[in-house]
Structure 1
Amino acid sequence: MNRQARASLKRRKLTAAAARVLHEQGVERTTLADIAREADVPVGNVYYYFKTKDELVRAALSEHSAHLDELTDRLDELADPRDRLRALIEGWVGLRDVTARHGCPTGTLAVELDKRADGTLDAEAGAVIRRLLDWAGSQFRELGLSDPDDLALTLVSAYQGMSLMANALRDPDIMSREGARLLRWLDSLPVPDRRG
């Protein structure tokens, strides 16, 4: 492996570590040393690739965005948009234990960043959530449902709410119960008759 490939791999390792540690500890409690420890690299390496904590937060948001892309690409392999949305909800429920401990990775980061004075990184976190909303809206649109963007907002808001409650109450069963409720809601949405 050449030097450039090793450097790229190390940066990717640090980015993934930043996403995990920031999700678990939050921005204010996380140090660059925490991320170095998680990535199993000397702390000097963190400073080489990321000069500030904000650069690490930006990298973590990029990691969340890449994860969302991977997830939606996998879901898009399913033929039916309702099945894609169902699989999304089931995936959220599958992460119930992590969510009960730490909340939604992007949602909790967005809320924490909103409290900061500079106000730039919170917009980047919001952009990741917007991408999820847009993807969900396209699924409802493909189903031919009216108000697809509103339905997407209902879905993603429900996820954020159940994530918040599961985390606040440290109860993963909230994700299971609310996920089941979301699945029933999704199945109750009428599919327009497209025969014509």
Structure 2
Amino acid sequence: MTDSRAATAAAKRRRLTAAAATVLHQKGVERTSIADIAQAAGVPVGNVYYYFKTKDDLVEAALTEHTATLDALTAELDRLPDPRARLQGLVAAWVAQRDTAARYGCPIGTLAAEVDKRDPGGLDESAARAVRRLLGWAAEQFRELGTEDPDGHALTLVAGYQGMSLLANALREPGVMAREGDRLLAWLDSL
């Protein structure tokens, strides 16, 4: 394969992965077809199977995409001067996505809930890996802050996000994210 063809193939796979992440988040796993993802990526449906053999492969790619987005966010936050500022930045990033959360929920959380209800096939573990990555990063921040039970604090923080995301989505009320984000920020200030 020439460099040009390899680059074209990589770009097409990248478009499919990004489209899968977006469409699956917006429509859900069961309501999304491979044709929906192909259309969003601007790729003929038949070409999808060259890159992804099954719909589950696309769900896996979407989870990988969401994890990469999370990794990029935490890498950016790691540039902040102290762990409290990093945790506050995380909460601010969540609140900034309040309109999306109110409409579709948390990208990783909603996929995790959906794949858990399907036949076991490893997707539930992929979703759990993404959540564990966030928990690990948050625990490290709490550890640097010198708090007792940094893992418990990380769980509280991520559970707070998942709860406010779920409620904002259920109520179709972005303000839930803003109000609960303020509570999380106040809690972080109190530690």
TM-score normalised to structure 2 length: 0.97
SS in structure 2 opposite 1:28? coil
Aligned to 2:54: 52
Out of 16, 19, 41, the position equivalent to 1:17 is 19
Structure 2 letter corresponding to 1:176: A
Offset of residue 117 of structure 1: 1.7
Aligned to 2:114: 112
Offset of residue 163 of structure 1: 0.4
Offset of residue 157 of structure 1: 0.2
Offset of residue 118 of structure 1: 2.0
Out of 138, 158, 167, the position equivalent to 2:160 is 158
Query: CA offsets per residue over residues 51-101 of structure 1, 9 Å max, x none?
Result: 110000010011011111111110001111100000100000000000000
Could you list the runs of 4 or more consecutive aligned residues of structure 1 that deviate by over 6 angstroms after TM superposition? Answer: none
Q: Distance in 1 between matches of 2:150 and 2:95?
A: 23
RMSD: 0.8
Aligned to 2:70: 68
Aligned to 2:37: 35
Q: Distance in 1 between matches of 2:118 and 2:23?
A: 19
Structure 1 letter corresponding to 2:70: L
Aligned to 1:142: 144
Out of 92, 95, 110, the position equivalent to 1:93 is 95
SS in structure 2 opposite 1:2? helix
Aligned to 1:5: 7
Q: Name the count of aligned residue pairs.
A: 189
Aligned to 1:126: 128
Sequence identity, in percent? 66
Offset of residue 119 of structure 1: 4.5
Offset of residue 18 of structure 1: 0.1
Q: Distance in 2 between matches of 1:99 and 1:179?
A: 13
Query: CA offsets per residue over residues 15-71 of structure 1, 9 Å max, x none?
Result: 000000000000000001100111111111212111110000010011011111111
Structure 2 letter corresponding to 1:86: Q
Q: Distance in 2 between matches of 1:69 and 1:120?
A: 21
Out of 84, 90, 101, the position equivalent to 2:86 is 84
SS in structure 2 opposite 1:181? helix
Q: Distance in 1 between matches of 2:179 and 2:14?
A: 36
Q: Distance in 2 between matches of 1:175 and 1:46?
A: 36
Structure 1 stretch displaced more, 103-112 or 2-11: 2-11
Structure 2 letter corresponding to 1:132: L
**Which structure 2 segments of 5+ residues have no match?**
none
Aligned to 2:182: 180
Structure 2 letter corresponding to 1:34: D
Q: Distance in 2 between matches of 1:92 and 1:54?
A: 27
